[in-house]
Amino acid sequence: MSATVESLRKALAERVVVADGAMGTMLQAANPTLDDFEGHEGCNEILNVTRPDIVRGIHDAYFAVGVDCVETNTFGANFGNLSEYGIVERIYELSEAGARIAREVADGWSTPDRPRWVIGSVGPGTKLPTLGHVDFRTLRDTYQQQVAGLIAGGVHAVLVETAQDLLQAKAAVIGAKRAIKAAGVDVPVFVQVTVETTGTMLLGTEIGAALTALEPLGVDLIGLNCATGPAEMSEHLRYLARHARVGLSCMPNAGLPVLGPDGATYPLTPKELADAHDVFTREYGLALVGGG
């Protein structure tokens, strides 16, 4: 049985749990070779084509522990990231491949009583239009290519995530909306901004300004992800709960990262993170929750 967009919309009225955050870490843990990356070391989206078995295994592992949906391995399938590897022309290809893998796995886990869904991951890239790294039109049009690939691969929703620049987020949402219209499909669009420990987005934008700029674009959910843990996100979620006219989502890290000899680790236990989600859902009415 295949889950549907309609069933996802209905489920969001209660709560949907999504896997998020650890895709890159899990891919690297599989020790892909330079050949697997086709010479583009660190470009995880290439693995959608060269090592779909690794990507498929990660999706399977998430569904096995009980999540409702997974994100595609397409966070970096955008102009900013792929231009650094000189493969911008592969945006559609890598996005479609990532969505197709995730959809095949989700359909395999879906049952009439427990549908499973796929959310297309649209990351911010490395080039911010507000700082003049790239023009708005280029971002908008290449995001449209990415979402067209995600739709072709079978995603149930699109998530513009880890937004640090409002212009970048607007380019992604508008590009996504254009792709959806061109495909003639009904696919909800979610957007999540990243608020730093300073209390604002990277370029100084407060959560109220983000809501004012993004909600009128017709997004289905708005929320927060990455950079901080539940404690740091609480006040911003409270603001959204009071003022947003659309549903809310939140995918925090397991606390603030702690740098050690083996890299960054996160202090919260799985139970502590789950408890935070329960509190957020109860107090702020979250529709979509997850964590890395």
Instruction: Evaluate whether residue 101 is within a structural domain.
Output: yes
pLDDT for 13 equals: 78
Return the pLDDT at 266. Answer: 62
Residue 162: inside a domain = yes
Question: Is residue 77, in this structure, part of any structural domain at all?
Answer: yes
pLDDT at 288: 87
93 by Cβ neighbours in 10 Å (0-12 / 13-18 / 19+) ranks as middle
Where in the sequence is the domain holding 214, given as residue range(s)? 5-21+61-291
Neighbouring CB atoms inside 10 A of 137's CB total 11
Report yes or no on 139 lying in a domain: yes
Output the pLDDT for position 12.
84
DSSP 3-state of 248: strand
Residue 26 is predicted with a pLDDT of 85
Closest CA to 46 of 57, 35, 56: 35
pLDDT in tens, the chain (292 residues): 567 888 898 888 777 777 665 687 788 888 999 999 999 999 999 999 999 999 999 999 999 989 999 999 999 999 999 999 999 999 999 999 999 999 999 999 999 999 999 999 999 999 999 999 999 999 999 999 999 999 999 999 999 999 999 999 999 999 999 999 999 999 999 999 999 989 999 999 999 999 999 999 999 999 999 877 777 888 999 999 999 999 999 887 765 666 667 666 665 666 767 777 777 778 888 888 887 5
Q: Is residue 144 part of a domain?
A: yes
- For residue 47, being part of any structural domain is answered with no
Separation of alpha carbons 231 and 217, rounded Å: 29
Report pLDDT for 55. Answer: 97
Strand partners, 70: 118
- Amino acid 272: pLDDT: 67
Extract the tokens encoding 144: 């449209």
Which residue carries 């870490």 as its tokens? 25
Q: What span, in angstroms and rounded, lies between the C-alpha atoms of 144 and 78? A: 10
Instruction: Count Cβ atoms within 10 A of the Cβ of residue 206 and give its class: 0-12 exposed, 13-18 middle, 19 or more buried.
Output: middle
**Residue 91 pLDDT:** 98
As a whole number of angstroms, the distance between CA 118 and CA 224 comes to: 19
Report how far residue 44's alpha carbon sits from residue 48's, in angstroms, rounded to the nearest whole number: 8
Give pLDDT, residue 239: 96
Give the pTM: 0.94
Query: Do the Cβ atoms of 155 and 122 come closer than 8 Å?
Result: no
Is 185 within the bounds of a domain? yes
Tell me if 34 is assigned to some domain. no
Residue 125: give its domain's CATH number: 3.20.20.330
- The count of structural domains within the chain is 1
